[in-house]
Structure 1
Amino acid sequence: MEKYEKLEKVGEGTYGKVYKAKDKATGQLVALKKTRLEMDEEGVPPTALREVSLLQMLSQSLYVVRLLCVEHVDNKKDGKPVLYLVFEYLDTDLKKFIDSYRKGPNPGPLAPAMVQSFLFQLCKGVAHCHSHGVLHRDLKPQNLLLDKDRGILKIADLGLGRAFTVPLKSYTHEIVTLWYRAPEVLLGSTHYSTGVDMWSVGCIFAEMVRRQALFPGDSEFQQLLHIFRLLGTPTEKQWAGVTTLRDWHVYPVWEPQNLARAVPALGPDGVDLLSRMLKYDPAERISAKEAMDHPYFDSLDKSQF
């Protein structure tokens, strides 16, 4: 790793520390994600190799953060090897960007054209992942990196925690993640598909418009109540099998509210798209590919993407 000069620690990913660094030869800024490998007798675990190859494949999309290379280093202290994933560096994420509009010197809404552009890019990146059989499962504004100068949004943190056998954090450890978690997962469903990502996309869409989270629960139970209060308590008619899910209880019965009131700055097409992303029955939720053809994007110049 002598090639890189570590400049600062910028965060803790799902599976290890993340550093901002500079390539000494080229001056290029990069993000280094460091993880220790639990080694087996064969060397690097095959799951790690599979995830890295998957990430290299997904990185072919402009809307997924680019993996530049992988460095394997022996740790002299304890003999355990360390894997560094070297990614392109982006200086901010969607969460910080939204906060800058909410708390900055000139607070105000994000421009509708900007919301439209970021959402389209997010759908394009998610569609790319789904077409390669990959669920992200943890989409949230913190995991969406921005190239502000070019107005480009990129999906990051592609669930590598599984590859490196880091124990999954319980939901309460990372409460923010709860805010974007689909109801089928909150209710204990073990069989879920691409709909979990599209629910998260809907929550992110609403947050860009509102500049605050749509469902800010502080526990799984509270999270469900936030959802039910706005969208109505789900019934078997709306979502067959919901009452047989592992964590279903008898909940207060709420009628669905007018979704447009939750996102008053959004026009009818935007509200319609959001409602399709937030369908209770995962099978009825709009796919990322279908979303890109929704009338909400009719005024967007798609040729630039």
Structure 2
Amino acid sequence: MSDALYGLGWATVKKLPEPVATRLGRTIADTVWKRRGKGVLRLEANLARVVPDATPQRLAELSKAGMRSYLRYWMESFRLPTWSRQRIKDGLDVKDLHYLTEGLAAGKGVVLALPHMGNYDHAGAWVTTTLDTPFTTVAERLKPETLYDRFVAYREGLGMEVLPHTGGAAFGILARRLRAGGLVCLVADRDLSSTGVEVKFFGETTRMPAGPAMLAQHTGALLLPVTLWYDSSSTMRGRVHPPVDVPETGTRAEKTSVMTQALADAFATGIADHPEDWHMLQRLWLADLEHVEERSA
């Protein structure tokens, strides 16, 4: 059913005029928000960490705006394959892009690490179109397999090389791309596996992927945090944050910890400025997971 629904979205929404798709996304978002399901309540609980002094009314306003932003991501993603090159270029304005262009020009490879903000698929298409730079990313193995295949085909159609996020093969391929001076883009604000690195995020502990920091250490590539947010009905903004340097001292694990914390701090800066565009509808902080385990026991 999931595969069929996503297939229907890509088949029908992309044919709608943009204003119609925009209204449809907002209507769906508002309907879902009013039902106060698990995803909406989790988003609100997450936003309470980001904006700790928010009143219940303010949190409700943020979660409503957050659902609209999240559905905007999906409406745009369904329509993205039909956008012209000019529409892709005009739809994103990036601050401090020089960090990325100078890093690519240096020829040592660049790792871009992003949280679940804005529309990273649009940002990826913007990179391949505006900078004429292909890049490699990874995708979670979704179930059913046909749904995963849809996402891979969709992103490959935008100019991305997509690797499955399973086993250790992906890391080796990413490292080779970077050593050749290439670009790697990774969504990196949630990793609840045993290999995730514990960081402080808005004052509480969570885990984030070790991959971006480890790739930078192994290959000498530049590690750049990026945050995205919506500015208007037709424009998305982005910021390339200053590079995360590899510490000069410490073990590999200690360096990875320091670098991943620096990523978390950059993400937190962007999310605090635009909390409604952070699409985190899942449990993130370890304290929330511990509560679930206690209830299960």
TM range (shorter): under 0.3
Alignment TM-score, normalising by the size of structure 1:
0.26
Alignment TM-score, normalising by the size of structure 2:
0.26
**Structure ranking higher in helix proportion:** 2
